[in-house]
Amino acid sequence: MPNVFISYSRLDGHLAARLYSDLKKTGLKVWFDQESLLPGQDWEAEIKKAVQGADFVALLLSKNSASKRGFFQKEMRISLSVAETIPCGHIHLLPIRLDECQVPTQLKSFHYVDFFPNWELGLGKLIKAIELEIGAPLGHDHRLGHSNLQENQFAKVDSDAKEGVGRNDDQGPPLSSRIEQNVVDGNRRLPIYFLIDCSRSMEGESASAVEQGLSSLITDLKSDPQALETAYVSFIFFANGAWQVMPLTELLLCPSSYKLFTHVTEETSLGAALLVLDIAIDREVIPRTEQHLGDYCPLTFILIGSPPTDDWVPAANRLMNRRDRKVNILLLGAGPSVDEITSAVPGIIGVKLSDAVPGELKAFFKWVDQEDK
């Protein structure tokens, strides 16, 4: 299977992670530094080797990358030197605009695709370009919103679930069709999103408590027939960026054991996580129509250990003011982060757990379980 290298600015890390997830769903091999680099490797040498060996290079252009100094510029120059060796008429460089940025002069001869304002439309064009070059359709429908877990971010331990998550949906109707039919038949889904802080503030006992709490919650929900029929779960991690590590997945297919990996960073990018959530809701939650009721309003649980370090308020207000899919948000936080967040954005329910000690976290998960039932 062809491989794709993703080149991006650190400030666009959450969007690069989303592209990584979307491309992996198609069956492509994807080189993404946050997932592909191993501890102890010479990262600069590995990146250069990956660029030179890639079948395709996705250059994520934005106001953060296109005209600013940084390693992205070096990756772009390496990519252009490799492109000079590619026979005329073949596709290798894939310039992607994330916003209204100026395309670098060196890339003017390459047609770019806009991933804004419609990400899915841009992704579809990108997939078509790759399929045109390789002369064959890709293995999985990139529109399904159904993928394997990124194991070095959120490793699943439950071997029974491994058979279900990420399976080939060619064995039956497409996942999107099955979901739509379930809603039409009256089986409304309850989308549950967990936004989990993976910064340094959640290291040690707090991380262990989150792992145990999630495992207990999922196990208890699986024992409830009503939850098995309605609950769909997704996980979004955030630290110096944000990543949806598991798209909305029916409860039966969710693993029952989890391992949380914290990042050695002081950054707590809640705004990036809320943006990823907003995009996920647009993509995954079925709205009410004249034909059927659609999904229940999404439940969102935010676990955060320290105050946000990015500009999170606009993203939070946008979520709280959605008209098509109302979002209920419960915040679990330690110290002043709870008061800071709930006072800035009315409507977010805050639960203050002093210092996020493990016993209190486990009690919170038990409370969430009771709320779902």
The answer to whether position 66 is within a domain reads yes
The pLDDT of residue 176:
36
- Whichever domain contains 256, its CATH number is 3.40.50.410
On whether both 24 and 88 belong to a single domain, the answer is yes
The answer to whether position 145 is within a domain reads no
The pLDDT of residue 112:
94
Rank 23-32, 130-139, 204-213, 301-310 by mean pLDDT and report only the highest.
23-32
The answer to whether position 139 is within a domain reads no
On whether both 350 and 252 belong to a single domain, the answer is yes
On whether both 180 and 301 belong to a single domain, the answer is yes
Distance CA 157, CA 110 (A): 44
The answer to whether position 146 is within a domain reads no
Question: Which domain-ending residue is among 82, 102, 134?
Answer: 134
Radius of gyration (Cα) for the chain, nearest Å?
A: 21
Kindly report the average pLDDT of the chain as a whole number. 76
From the number of C-beta atoms within 10 Å of its C-beta (0-12, 13-18, 19+), residue 365 rates as buried
Question: Which domain-ending residue is among 134, 165, 196?
Answer: 134
The answer to whether position 140 is within a domain reads no
The pLDDT of residue 3:
93
The pLDDT of residue 244:
83
Pick from 13-27, 269-283, 300-314, 342-356: least confident: 342-356
**What would the pLDDT profile of 159-183 be if each residue is shown by its tens digit?**
333 333 333 334 344 333 433 444 4
The answer to whether position 86 is within a domain reads yes
On whether both 126 and 167 belong to a single domain, the answer is no
On whether both 78 and 172 belong to a single domain, the answer is no
pTM for this prediction? 0.51
Rank 107-116, 117-126, 198-207 by mean pLDDT and report only the highest.
107-116
Query: Percentage of residues in the chain with pLDDT exceeding 70?
Result: 77
Structural domain containing residue 13: 3-134
pLDDT of 185 higher than 90? no
Q: In DSSP terms, which residues pair with 301 in a beta bridge?
A: 194, 330
On whether both 194 and 128 belong to a single domain, the answer is no
User: Among all chains, which residue has been given the structure tokens 């062809």?
Assistant: 2
On whether both 210 and 333 belong to a single domain, the answer is yes
* Cα–Cα nearest to 170, from 143, 139, 142: 139
Pick from 88-97, 201-210, 337-346: least confident: 201-210
On whether both 167 and 109 belong to a single domain, the answer is no
3-state secondary structure of 373: coil
In the predicted model, what is the mean pLDDT of residues 108-128? Answer: 89
On whether both 311 and 347 belong to a single domain, the answer is yes
In the predicted model, what is the mean pLDDT of residues 242-247? Answer: 83
Q: Could you give the C-alpha distances from 372 to 190, 226, 250, 301, 350, in angstroms and in order?
A: 9, 10, 14, 12, 17
On whether both 105 and 161 belong to a single domain, the answer is no
8 Å CB contact between 308 and 269: yes
DSSP 118: -
In the predicted model, what is the mean pLDDT of residues 310-317? Answer: 88
Q: Which residues have C-beta within 8 Å of that of residue 367, sequence separation ≥ 6?
A: none
- Determine the Cα angle at 257 with ends 254 and 262, to 5°: 105
The answer to whether position 289 is within a domain reads yes
Omega prior to 298 cis, within 30 of 0: no
The pLDDT of residue 174:
38
On whether both 160 and 211 belong to a single domain, the answer is yes
- Whichever domain contains 59, its CATH number is 3.40.50.10140
The answer to whether position 23 is within a domain reads yes
On whether both 82 and 200 belong to a single domain, the answer is no
Count: domains in the chain: 2
